[in-house]
Amino acid sequence: MAKSPFINRLSRRDFLKSTSAAAIAGSMAATGCAGRKPVIIPDATGEPLPPRTLFGNGRLVSLPDGRVTPGWSLLIEDGRIVYAGPDKPFSGMEARRIDLAGEYLLPGLMDAHCHMTLPSAASFSPLLGPATWRQLRRNFENQLASGVTRVRDMGAMPPLLHTLVREVEKGELAGPDVITCNAIFNVDGGHPDITPSDVSWLAAMGSLFTGAPTVAFKEEELASAFEANCRNADFVKITLDNTSLIAGKPSINRYSDDALPAIFRLADAAGKPVAGHAMRRFGVRRALAYPIHSLEHTVSDGPLDETTLQKMVDKKVSVVPTTILANLYTLLDLAEPIPKGLLSRRAYLEAPIREAYLASVTEADVEPAIHHTNLAMLETMQKYPFSELYTRGDYTFNPHQYLPILTHGRQNLMRMKEAGIRIGCGTDAGVPLNYHGTIVRELQCMARLGFTNAEALTCATLNNAHILGMENEAGTLAPGKRADVITMAKNPVKDLAALNDLTLIVKNGTVYEKT
């Protein structure tokens, strides 16, 4: 990989300083980001549109069975589906009529785990400020352009997120609808291991504009910190594991036996469901002592026992596995030796898929300077073992924590599916190397791990609607539901790559077109 000329290595403290400095610069920049062409825009005809839109001659893809019904129509009014059924002429009705010419119809997809205000960068420099701001706006556009009409943000800089969401609501920015936890409600020193104690006065000033993606509360501040973070939030996100995901970091802090039940009591009183980061059995077992709504990521440090699986079934816990991390982060050519037993045939099969993807990334996907920082990170991981990375201040992910997703993780996920546990679909986009607008890659990774294409599509539509609490509003193309629709020329049940060539994207009744 070619070295990036843009990156100077930063200490952990400088990383946080420059992150806030970049966000300040971005938040003060012109909202329109002059000179950057939007990825997707509303389909404007230049004339007033009729009050209704009729889509006819489509092929409905029914989920979860994947059955295709030709000759299907959708009538949309005021952002809602008012008719869904066999083609009808609706003679004499004033409507904009769109002939789908046999294209396939699906509900808008949902990304149930992403970070809309994270730029997917491995590190920052002050020079990346404008690129960072452009990327945050591009995150919204790329999600919608990939057919995602709704997302669940799993940890954001709240003021910045709500600013961008308002732009979406006012039609100034094309993007999905968002439900959010605001910041991750983690204990000081817990995952993701970046705490307010590292932040200088510059970072503190930056948080006035952007907020921070984690709360990192001290236990004596729990109730007040919870109340502040819960305002305008739709749910609560906590982190439950006892092991760091940062290469070379030996341990992390975790909630005390007093703090965790207090969090669930406060969440219940506020009427907020709780989602929990849990990649290890420790975190899952701890979560199941409480009314956890969903578990995030794939549990992969060993096989789950039958008692744990049955508890998940009994408590109606959902799981959003973010299997794409098994493709992006299972690196094999590192300076750090891979422990015996972690390598698998699947890891070797994922490697060329990852390399082909990274080689295909263009500036339409991500700001070039951000992609260069990520390629530079991969180079650095090839040069230094984990302990040296950490002492140098290179805070990278630990691939050894992700390799088991392809072995124990896959087996656990298939057992959950067979037990009837609801499985959702999320990309974790926003973390390093993981760009927004890649839900098709997540679906394909799920398929490689054992889901049928129809099952994977169900995870991204019907199942995600339940996980997001939107089952009465989204997830199917039924009368009364929001008019979130995507169309494509080929059948995605036969080949998920059909989703890479969407012919129509409709969100809340508004038709969008890619530029």
Decide the pairing of beta strands 294-296 and 80-86: unpaired
Radius of gyration of the chain (CA): 22
Distance between start and end Cα atoms, the chain: 31
The total number of structural domains that make up the chain: 2
Q: Is 358 found in the same domain as 493?
A: no
Alpha helices, DSSP H, located in 329-421: 345-360, 368-383, 386-392, 408-418
**Quick count: other Cβ atoms within 10 Å of Cβ 314?**
9
Q: Is 395 found in the same domain as 482?
A: no
Measured in whole angstroms, the distance separating CA 295 from the mean position of its chain's CA atoms is 14
Task: State how far the Cα of 136 lies from the Cα of 120, in Å rounded to an integer.
Answer: 9
Q: Is 353 found in the same domain as 382?
A: yes
DSSP 8-class letter at 4: P
Task: State how far the Cα of 43 lies from the Cα of 510, in Å rounded to an integer.
Answer: 8
Tokens of 102: 């046999």
Task: State how far the Cα of 389 lies from the Cα of 393, in Å rounded to an integer.
Answer: 6
Indicate left, alpha or beta for 322 from its phi (over 0: left) and psi (-120 to 50: alpha): left
Task: State how far the Cα of 65 lies from the Cα of 74, in Å rounded to an integer.
Answer: 20
Q: Is 507 found in the same domain as 444?
A: no
pLDDT, mean of each 10-residue run, the chain (515 residues): 34 41 44 59 71 96 97 97 96 93 98 96 78 94 98 95 96 96 92 53 51 85 96 96 89 92 98 97 97 97 96 98 96 92 94 96 94 94 94 89 96 98 98 97 98 98 98 98 98 98 96 87
Q: Is position 24 within any domain?
A: no
Q: Give the 3-state DSSP-derived string for 421-477, with helices as H, strands as E and coil as C.
A: CCECCCCCECECCCCCCCHHHHHHHHHHHCCCHHHHHHHHHHHHHHHCCCCCCCCCC
Q: Is position 364 within any domain?
A: yes
Q: Is position 428 within any domain?
A: yes
Q: Is 338 found in the same domain as 226?
A: yes
Last residue of a domain, one of 419, 451, 483: 451
pLDDT of residue 213: 85
Q: Is 191 found in the same domain as 122?
A: yes
Range(s) of the domain holding residue 480: 32-107+471-515
**pTM of the predicted protein model:** 0.91
Tokens of 136: 């945050």
Task: State how far the Cα of 292 lies from the Cα of 255, in Å rounded to an integer.
Answer: 15
pLDDT of residue 47: 61
Q: Is position 166 within any domain?
A: yes
pLDDT of residue 76: 97
Q: Is 119 found in the same domain as 99?
A: no
Task: State how far the Cα of 260 lies from the Cα of 242, in Å rounded to an integer.
Answer: 14
Q: If you write DSSP's letter for every residue of 88-116 in order, what string do you get? A: ---TT---EEEE-TT-EEEEPEEEEEE-T
Q: Is 486 found in the same domain as 366?
A: no
H helix or E strand, kind and range, residue 21: helix 12-28
Tokens of 258: 């007093």
Tokens of 171: 């039609």
Identify the CATH number of the domain in which residue 50 sits: 2.30.40.10
Q: Is position 233 within any domain?
A: yes
Triad 362, 365, 366: Cα angle to 5°: 90
Contacts of 176 (CB under 8 A, 6+ apart): 111, 140, 143, 144, 148, 149, 150, 151, 168, 507
Q: Is position 293 within any domain?
A: yes
Alpha helices, DSSP H, located in 212-335: 222-230, 259-270, 281-287, 306-314, 325-328
pLDDT of residue 285: 96
Distances (CA, A) of 179 to 87, 247, 446: 34, 31, 24
Q: Is 76 found in the same domain as 113?
A: no
Look at residues 376, 383, 323 and name the one whose alpha carbon lies nearest to residue 353: 323
Contacts of 514 (CB under 8 A, 6+ apart): 39, 40, 145, 502, 505
- The answer to whether 470 touches 150, Cβ cutoff 8 Å, is yes
Task: State how far the Cα of 449 lies from the Cα of 456, in Å rounded to an integer.
Answer: 11
Q: Is 123 found in the same domain as 90?
A: no
Q: Is position 244 within any domain?
A: yes
φ and ψ of 13, to 5 deg: -65, -45
Q: Is 304 found in the same domain as 186?
A: yes
Task: State how far the Cα of 210 lies from the Cα of 344, in Å rounded to an integer.
Answer: 42
Last residue of a domain, one of 451, 480, 501: 451
Identify the CATH number of the domain in which residue 271 sits: 3.20.20.140
Triad 478, 479, 481: Cα angle to 5°: 75
Q: Is position 284 within any domain?
A: yes
Q: Is 172 found in the same domain as 80?
A: no
Decide the pairing of beta strands 510-514 and 318-320: unpaired
